[in-house]
Amino acid sequence: MQELASNLMNITTLLGASGGESLFTYQESSGGPGWLGLIPVLPAIAALICLLLLFLARKGMASGKSRGPAYLVLGFLALSFILTLSGFLMWNGQGKPAWIVTLFDWINITWNSGDGEQSLIANFGFYFDGLSFLWMLFVTFLGSMICLYASEYMSGDKGYARFFAAFGLFVASMSCLVLGDNLVMLYLGWEGVGLCSYMLIGYFYTKPEAVAAAKKAFIVNRIGDLGLALGLYLIYTTFGTVQYDELFRAVAERTDAAGSPLDFATMWQSWAIPCLLMIGAFGKSAQFPLYVWLPDAMEGPTPVSALIHAATMVTAGVYMIARMFPLFLMDPDLHALHAVAWIGTFTALLAATIGMAQFDIKRIMAYSTVSQLGYMFAGLGFLTTTGGAYHVFTHAFFKATLFLACGAVMHGFAGQLDLRKLSGLWSQPGWRITSVAMLVGCINLAGLPLTAGYFSKDMILAEAFYTPDSLIHFSGLMGWILLFTAGLTAYYTFRVFFRVFVGPEHYEPGDEAYDHDSDETGEESHHPVEEHGDHHADHFHPHPPGWAINLVLSVLAIGSILAAIPYFVSDGNDKSKGWVGDMLYSSSAFYKSPAGHADKHGNETAVLVPADPVVLPASFADEPAAAGAAKGKVPAADAWPVRDQVEAGSILGMDPHKAMYYISAVFGLIGILIAAYLHGPKGPAGLFIGNRTQAATSRADALLPKLGPLPRWAQNKWYVDEFYEATIRLPLWVFANIFHAIDKLLIDGALVDGISSLPKAFARSIRPLQSGVLHSYAAGMAAGLGIILLVVWVFSL
């Protein structure tokens, strides 16, 4: 025993020497102020009140004639945001351990007491650290903003209160997902947002496409959720805990929760757990095999698309991987992270090519979301959780702006979303704010230099080249693919802008409005509904957004620009990566690249540290070795295959962090120029290279036939839906019919009906006895009497 202890001491000393460079820092958590627990509860209360309103059926409240439900939910969401913000400021001022706020004990089971005691503890508690604060700040802020937008957008709709009930429940679930202090809470929130997404996509439940899209989203998500559920189960069976602090401590010490050591290098769980979690993330965050639900989800009301399907819910997968990053590092070969990087890269490219060929602007934004999520995943795969999280942060703002601007257009032009039928909104009265917001969103998405989107995308792209090939194989190749995709992104983004927002003024109203998200109530209503029996362009009046939409668009556009600031602000924990890097530094998502650390100007040459992702409690670095050994919390370092020192990667022989500023800008600008040439109008609005004079046609129309079938294929989404239809849905349909036939013929027919027909047949055979003729009964009785007498007589002989 003593010998072991001294060995441990030696190892600790060794690690203490190089221990400053541990890849994952485990920090003790402590209790936080209890009022933080209100953050997820407030939106849930708002949702409940909305539900009550719905049942009380106060006509004015439920029919959208009053905006009461919207302002109610808005108030609660805003309060939730204020609490988050003040909680963050308090937390930020202190030493930054994670705060745990437990509302109540939820699951607390212990069995096998005594020897081999096992327990399952999952409290209804919330975990506040840099990662969750980062997410909660933009979730509650964007939630409030989009709620205000929706108060105008949804006005006049029959399901007004229903919409806001689901909206509140969504924010509550998302908060539960992000803040939960254990995996069960994460799962609860995960399913909750899935449910709300289903309810809100299928909000127009009389529209068959909306119902189909809702079902598709829910079912595709089930596939991912199965992966997540299995992953959580495997985590529990491996580590014996689902609580974050215990789990991360266990991972850091390479033991299970009870303290028995685990050999990460050889056990199969170290690659199985991340792979299963990854599948869950692919489902929720719409990555390649499971992305098909997201574009269809645009059938929901636009605020929903903006909040759930662009800004917050779809980033849950990124959050989950970032949160579980220590588990992703267990595998010495990083199998799961390779898959994450490749799938992310491929999804980014695939979705960008589809987005280039669509005509529905909201759908283009949907594909751009899928594509940008691909970037985030690629970032996680390149081991830059900060890059992924920062891109989530900036993307949340600019994609919400883009979606809400598209929504304003859809709202104003009677559901028109076809970019061939709208043009020159910039100069039409009342559309200036929308157009400017759209421009801000577009330059961010396109990654124009000095925008937030540019910095966050660069962080991922630079890391693709910076991450050494020995850690993530072919990361450089993926980096080039992503750079090419950045060019495509710039093209399709500005294709929308040049077609819809500048150029000759033209509009054709859509055909679907005034039946659901009718514009004709609310304060900007000027026309009675009856006048709008049909909408010819002659007497259709576009209907510019009102104050709420304009206010939200302005705030979000400014927010999109300001989202660049965190890149430059740092309080010193992780200087090179700005504020987001600081935030992640104090969370489980922090990852210190073994390739060393150049600051953002690339001044520092790559410091080579051992690539052993030693996960060591941070406190041990300063603690005397003996103290650590005495606690028995020392990782079995020799069990880990120590990688050789790794050289940081480069791009074209340059330091990626420096070079990427120019390279990605070039790709972005080329994309924008091509869009201007093909779709831009004449004059300065088309950068002097466009020549479009009509809404419906542009130079691209002449170019398309020369590209062969590619544009058609891309417009048809590379036939992925058809492929799924043929390979998954059709076989399932055939099987279902076979099983239906078996059920009908064998189970129902032969067994159930067959057996039940036996008594029936018997009854039919003896039924004639019941003839109804009184004399036949009497004769029967007499005959019976005679037989009895006969028998008695025979036996008495």
Nearer to another protein, 529 or 785 (CB): 785
Instruction: Identify the three-state secondary structure at position 131.
Output: helix
Cα 778 to its chain centre, rounded Å, is 83
Minimum gap (Å) between residue 55 Cβ and another protein: 53
Nearer to another protein, 93 or 772 (CB): 772
Does position 778 interact with another protein (CB under 8 A)? The reply is: yes
Minimum gap (Å) between residue 753 Cβ and another protein: 23
| CB contact at 8 A, 580 and 393 | yes
Nearer to another protein, 258 or 782 (CB): 782
Minimum gap (Å) between residue 783 Cβ and another protein: 10
Does position 782 interact with another protein (CB under 8 A)? The reply is: yes
| CB contact at 8 A, 401 and 553 | yes
Nearer to another protein, 785 or 791 (CB): 785
Task: Write the CB contacts of 674 (distance below 8 Å, at least 6 apart in sequence).
Answer: 491
| AA identity, residue 390 | Y
Residues in region 172-191 near another protein by CB under 8 A? none
Does position 775 interact with another protein (CB under 8 A)? The reply is: yes
Residue choice 530, 644, 767, 794 for contact with another protein (CB under 8 A):
767
Nearer to another protein, 526 or 775 (CB): 775
Minimum gap (Å) between residue 779 Cβ and another protein: 6
Minimum gap (Å) between residue 760 Cβ and another protein: 13
Q: What is d(CA 169, CA 181) in angstroms, rounded to the nearest whole number? A: 19
Nearer to another protein, 773 or 792 (CB): 773
> Of the ranges 330-338, 439-447, 593-601, 766-774, which one interacts with another protein (CB under 8 A)?
766-774
Minimum gap (Å) between residue 790 Cβ and another protein: 15
Nearer to another protein, 703 or 788 (CB): 788
Q: What is d(CA 318, CA 580) in angstroms, rounded to the nearest whole number? A: 14
Nearer to another protein, 738 or 785 (CB): 785
Does position 266 interact with another protein (CB under 8 A)? The reply is: no
Structure tokens at 145: 């903003």
Nearer to another protein, 110 or 771 (CB): 771
Residue choice 689, 771, 784, 787 for contact with another protein (CB under 8 A):
771
Does position 755 interact with another protein (CB under 8 A)? The reply is: no
Q: How would you write 561-608 as a 3-class SS string?
A: HHCCHHHCCCCCCCHHHHHHHHHHHCCCCCCCCCCCCCCCCCCCCCCC
Residue choice 52, 627, 734, 779 for contact with another protein (CB under 8 A):
779
Does position 747 interact with another protein (CB under 8 A)? The reply is: no
Structure tokens at 159: 């399901």
* Dihedral of alpha carbons 276, 280, 281, 286, sign: positive
Minimum gap (Å) between residue 777 Cβ and another protein: 10
What does residue 96 show for φ and ψ, rounded to 5 degrees?
65, 40
Nearer to another protein, 652 or 792 (CB): 792
> Of the ranges 228-236, 529-537, 728-736, 765-773, which one interacts with another protein (CB under 8 A)?
765-773
> Of the ranges 370-378, 478-486, 648-656, 773-781, which one interacts with another protein (CB under 8 A)?
773-781
Minimum gap (Å) between residue 785 Cβ and another protein: 8
Identify the burial level of 524 via C-beta atoms within 10 angstroms of its C-beta, where 0-12 means exposed, 13-18 middle and 19 or more buried.
Answer: middle
Minimum gap (Å) between residue 773 Cβ and another protein: 5
> Of the ranges 254-262, 326-334, 473-481, 779-787, which one interacts with another protein (CB under 8 A)?
779-787
What does residue 287 show for φ and ψ, rounded to 5 degrees?
-100, 175
Continuous segment of H or E residues that includes residue 475: helix 475-496
| CB contact at 8 A, 423 and 506 | yes
Minimum gap (Å) between residue 757 Cβ and another protein: 18
> Distances from the Cα of 379 to the Cαs of 340, 461, 762, 784, in angstroms?
9, 8, 75, 95
| CB contact at 8 A, 257 and 290 | no
Give the closest residue to 642 by CA, choosing from 470, 464, 465: 470
Nearer to another protein, 450 or 779 (CB): 779
Structure tokens at 22: 């541990």
What is the residue-wise DSSP string for 72-87? HHHHHHHHHHHHHHHH
> Of the ranges 223-231, 609-617, 639-647, 767-775, which one interacts with another protein (CB under 8 A)?
767-775
> Distances from the Cα of 181 to the Cαs of 106, 169, 176, in angstroms?
12, 19, 9
**Do the bridges between strand 99-111 and strand 30-31 make them parallel or antiparallel, or are there none, so unpaired?**
parallel
Does position 627 interact with another protein (CB under 8 A)? The reply is: no
| CB contact at 8 A, 185 and 124 | yes
| CB contact at 8 A, 664 and 454 | yes
Does position 761 interact with another protein (CB under 8 A)? The reply is: no
Minimum gap (Å) between residue 754 Cβ and another protein: 24
Number of residues that bind another protein (CB under 8 A): 12
Structure tokens at 458: 């660069």
Nearer to another protein, 683 or 780 (CB): 780
Does position 792 interact with another protein (CB under 8 A)? The reply is: no
> Of the ranges 410-418, 512-520, 632-640, 777-785, which one interacts with another protein (CB under 8 A)?
777-785
Does position 773 interact with another protein (CB under 8 A)? The reply is: yes
Task: Write the CB contacts of 491 (distance below 8 Å, at least 6 apart in sequence).
Answer: 356, 671, 672, 674, 675
Nearer to another protein, 653 or 772 (CB): 772
Residue choice 60, 95, 705, 772 for contact with another protein (CB under 8 A):
772
> Of the ranges 166-174, 196-204, 519-527, 778-786, which one interacts with another protein (CB under 8 A)?
778-786
With b meaning 16 or more CB within 10 Å and e meaning fewer, what string describes 429-463?
Answer: ebbebbbbbbbbbbbbbbbbeebbbbbbbbbbbbb
| CB contact at 8 A, 408 and 549 | yes
Minimum gap (Å) between residue 755 Cβ and another protein: 23
25: DSSP letter = E
Residue choice 206, 756, 770, 796 for contact with another protein (CB under 8 A):
770
Q: What is d(CA 637, CA 441) in angstroms, rounded to the nearest whole number? A: 48
Tokens 């000393």, residue?
Answer: 13
What is the residue-wise DSSP string for 437-464? HHHHHHHHHHT-TTSHHHHHHHHHHHHH
Does position 774 interact with another protein (CB under 8 A)? The reply is: yes
Continuous segment of H or E residues that includes residue 422: strand 422-423
What is the maximal distance between C-alpha atoms in the chain? 131
Minimum gap (Å) between residue 774 Cβ and another protein: 4
> Distances from the Cα of 411 to the Cαs of 56, 149, 303, 308, 549, in angstroms?
29, 12, 11, 19, 10
Structure tokens at 650: 């480069």
Minimum gap (Å) between residue 793 Cβ and another protein: 12
| Contact characters 466-485, another protein, x per CB under 8 A | --------------------
Nearer to another protein, 726 or 778 (CB): 778
Q: What is the CA radius of gyration of the chain?
A: 32
Minimum gap (Å) between residue 776 Cβ and another protein: 9
> Of the ranges 418-426, 468-476, 488-496, 772-780, which one interacts with another protein (CB under 8 A)?
772-780
| Binding site residues, another protein, CB under 8 A | 767, 769-775, 778-779, 782, 785
